[in-house]
Each structure stands twice: as structure tokens, then as C-alpha cells.
Structure 1
Amino acid sequence: MADDRPLYRDPWAKREAWRKSPIFTTRSYLRHLFPGFGIGLAAFVVYVVVDETVLKKRAQNGHHDNHDHH
């Protein structure tokens, strides 16, 4: 009668299996360290671009208009 099971079987193997899950890798940890950082950075860049282009032009045009109403 040949038994293919190993002679030593770890009784805690099922309880330790979560440590080998891909969720707990260093890459996954670093990727999820700052959730929403990419979206926040993109929104900030869009805000700065709009502020520097559109709002500065509007402020310059509005500055000249305010003197005409006095």
C-alpha cells in the first residue's frame, strides 16, 4: 500500500495560507498605500492648468473693466 502523502504534515498550514496570498505582497502593499493619490494628483494638475490659463486671462480682462464703471 503506497501512500503519496508526505510523512510530515503541518497542522497549521491552513491557518498560515493567508500569508502567501498575493494581496499581502510588497508590491500590492505599496500600490495601495495611498488610495486615490493618482486621481487627486490628476485633479490638482488640471486645477493648476486652468488657474494659470483661463482664470489669469479672465482676471486681466476683468481688471480693465472695473476701472471703466467708476
Structure 2
Amino acid sequence: MLALVFAAAGLILFSILYNRQYEDGGLMEALRNPLFVVTLVFPFVPSIVLLWWSRRLDKKFRVMIQELRNRKD
């Protein structure tokens, strides 16, 4: 859930930064600018990290639960 909040915040931040920098220019012009590419990726980094981390922990949790169920039998 927290990853979705960060993704939404990243999308809003990206929209604000894009509108401030490239109000009159096209998207292809913006993609040639390295600063814009960093600006595009940076707001989504927390969301990506949290998503990766939660999937990793979810896999460990599922294995742990399965081991507990196997011990119970």
C-alpha cells in the first residue's frame, strides 16, 4: 500500500516538474535532456525500492508459513 502512495506522489511530482521545465517544448526534446531523464526516474525510486522489498519479504513470509504448516502436520 505504501508503495502505491509513493508511486502516486512520484507521478504528481513528475507532472509538476515537467510542466515547469517544458511547458512549450515537446516530449522528444525533453527526453534528450539528461536532467529530465533523472527527473523522470527519481520520484519513482522510493516506490520501486518499497515494491522490491515487499515482494522479497512476502516470499520469505510465505516460505516461513509453509514450513510452520508442514511442522504442524
Q: Greater RCO between the two (CA within 8 Å, min separation 6)? A: 2
Q: Give the structure-1-normalised TM-score.
A: 0.42
Q: Give the structure-2-normalised TM-score.
A: 0.41
**Structure (1 or 2) with the greater helix fraction:** 2
